[in-house]
Amino acid sequence: MSDFLEEVLELVFHFLTSQKDRNVVFIVCKSLFGVERRSRQRVSIGNCYSITPQTLINRFPGVKALTSKGKPYFTDVSFDPNVLGGLAYPWIDAMAKSYRGLEEIQLKRMFVSDASLELLSRLFPNFKSIVLIKCEGFTTDGLDEIAANCRSFPHTCTSLVSLNFACLKGEVDRGSLEILVVRCPNLRNLKLNRYVPLARLQRILTLGPHLVDLGIGSYIDTFKTLSGILEVVDRSLPALHPICSDLTFLNLSDAPGIYGSELKTMILRCNKLQRLWILDKIGDDGLEIVATICKELQELRVFPSFAYDGGVTELGLLVVSRRCTKLYSLIYHCQQMTNNAPSVMSKRCPNLVRFRLFTLDPRKADHVTLDPLDEGFKAIIKSCKGLRRLALSGLILSVAFAGDSDKGMLHVLNGGKKLNKLKIRDSQFGDTTILTNIGKYEAMRYVWMPSFDVTLGGCKNLAKNMPKLNVQIMNENQEKLDDSQKVAELYIYQSLDRPTGGAYPWEG
């Protein structure tokens, strides 16, 4: 291919903004592979352990924008940052030597130290944008380095559209916050931390009538989202009633001080809700109100409050599925469940793309028939063809506490044709199950299995039969296991590079 034609193709490739489209083009021939390789400026990595920084640099030498995800979605995993916590520093250090033109970086669920932010701010002269989603490890010292050294950032803050500092600990300067709200006429989304008092909130609302999404509460009838409510008592809720009629998203999952009766009173006013995150204190009768009032509901998340009484059961699931037929996303923590409830839901809500069902007692079966919950999950897998993965795009399947037989796992692997991520926990799946239909694993981003009955020998056999997979085990202690002993957790993922270091008792 002539140099002129390659230059023309590189210009054409700049109009291919979809990563999927570019992935299709580069496999056509070696010439297009080379052109695409040199012209790729944006790269997205779904699992930072699937590739090393140097392999990325060798593959795409001209990257200006990087998106990378670290540890798995599941928030109940306490991964050691030095083991499987998604350390950002090695990536930033490697890019500093080869990607000096880097302009944007977005990291999700990674460990970002202040040293990482300092390195980022000092070694990339054209750096313009940083997005940290559910990351940890940094403080305001690291953010100070970004603010002080990144000279390519906008010179003023008047273009600011969204500000979220809910994760920061400690008080913020209240006067500075008010000035920021006044000077940013385009600011629409503001998420505050718990140290901003309610008395100051009224002042912020007065200064920022342009706000649409406030992560602590509001008194303005233009709000569509209400979230971030933490230490609020029942008697405070009536102040929020005037805005309820326009809300499309209500998040009360972090407000254990609000009880069922007040929740129900509030829900009765939220007839436009499309997304609802709530604690199980709402009860089955509260979910009946949700189903009656919120006909446009598309996403429902019911989280455990671990209260001594109350909670939700299969009855709440049934009533929601009967009336909220537009539902596509469900996370449901319940006291008890039957096989019939998911089966009925699979017929009433066939467009489900996210389905997570947890019983608070991990070993509890169908409380009516005493059978494992295999049939319920089989129905979901069979009827809901859109089920795909758990986390990135909202197309999720998670099977927790799936009973005492291996059938549930086999239904998942054989039925979920587009399954991308899978978590199986607190189930008695054994070596036979994980070694059945093992070719499915190569098409998935990862499989994570804590608290189940797989042995070290089974893990070794899986790694031997599937050399392209990384099969990693995790135990609370580092003592050496023999092949017949059970492993505590299993993490399977496909990688272009083998894992480095000796993080676990054994790695395949």
* Range with top average pLDDT, 27-41, 125-139, 187-201, 259-273: 125-139
The band of 469, judged by pLDDT with boundaries at 50, 70 and 90, is confident
260-315 pLDDT tens trace: 677 788 889 888 899 999 888 888 999 999 999 999 999 999 988 876 667 899 99
Instruction: Tell me which of 36 and 456 has the higher pLDDT.
Output: 456
Instruction: Tell me which of 503 and 184 has the higher pLDDT.
Output: 184
Asked if the model's pLDDT at residue 500 lies above 60, the reply is no
325-368 pLDDT tens trace: 899 999 998 888 888 998 999 889 888 888 888 887 766 777 88
Asked if the model's pLDDT at residue 369 lies above 80, the reply is yes
Give φ, ψ of 168 to 5 degrees. Answer: -75, 140
**pTM of this prediction?**
0.60
Asked if the model's pLDDT at residue 98 lies above 80, the reply is yes
The band of 21, judged by pLDDT with boundaries at 50, 70 and 90, is low
pLDDT value at residue 106:
94
Average pLDDT, the chain: 76
Shortest CA distance to 189 belongs to which of 167, 210, 163, 160? 163
pLDDT value at residue 335:
86
Instruction: Tell me which of 20 and 63 has the higher pLDDT.
Output: 63
* Range with top average pLDDT, 14-18, 248-252, 273-277, 480-484: 273-277
pLDDT > 90 in the chain, percent:
16
Asked if the model's pLDDT at residue 94 lies above 90, the reply is yes
Asked if the model's pLDDT at residue 505 lies above 50, the reply is no
The band of 394, judged by pLDDT with boundaries at 50, 70 and 90, is very low
* Own/partner long-range contacts of 178-185 (Cβ < 8 Å, ≥24 apart): 178/203, 178/204, 178/207, 181/207, 181/208, 181/211, 182/207, 182/208, 183/156, 183/157, 183/158, 184/157, 184/158, 184/159, 184/160, 185/158, 185/210
Instruction: Count the neighbouring beta carbons within 10 Å of the beta carbon of residue 134.
Output: 14
